[in-house]
């Protein structure tokens, strides 16, 4: 629904969701198990949040309390990492 890359979704933190202006601020991504800043100015962008996504994000963020909390985590509460998914399922998702 957003056009975000999986590494951007995995690195998405609470502080980058702007509910007032209905924007996702793409500023970071997950690379090799680390949350890092996006590399290029073109990658740094603001994406609109539609009604369906807004409702979902509100449910997801309701349990988060710190600005640096990642929205999507594994069972241990750590940010998702595409490399782990690739190893587990053998393909890129």
Q: Share the mean pLDDT of the chain.
A: 89
- Token pair 């994000």: residue: 57
**Residue 33: band (very low, low, confident or very high) from pLDDT cuts 50, 70, 90:** confident
- The DSSP output letter for 66 is S
How confident is the model over 62-83, as pLDDT tens digits?
999 999 999 999 888 888 877 6
Mean pLDDT of 16-31: 96
| E strand or H helix that includes residue 52 | helix 51-61
Mean pLDDT of 40-47: 96
Q: What are phi and psi of 91, to 5 degrees?
A: -140, 165
**Residue 93: band (very low, low, confident or very high) from pLDDT cuts 50, 70, 90:** very low
Answer whether 47's CB lies under 8 Å from 4's CB. Answer: yes
Residue 91 has pLDDT above 60, yes or no: no
- The DSSP output letter for 9 is H
């Amino acid at each position: 629904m957003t056009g975000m890359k999986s590494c951007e979704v995995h690195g998405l933190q609470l502080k980058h969701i702007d509910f007032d202006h209905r924007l996702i601020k793409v500023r970071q991504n997950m690379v090799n198990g680390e949350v890092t800043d996006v590399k290029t100015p073109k990658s740094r962008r603001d994406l609109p949040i539609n009604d369906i996504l807004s409702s979902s994000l509100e449910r997801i963020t309701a349990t988060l309390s710190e600005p640096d909390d990642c929205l999507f985590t594994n069972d241990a509460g750590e940010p998702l990492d595409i490399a782990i998914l690739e190893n587990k399922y053998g393909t890129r998702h």
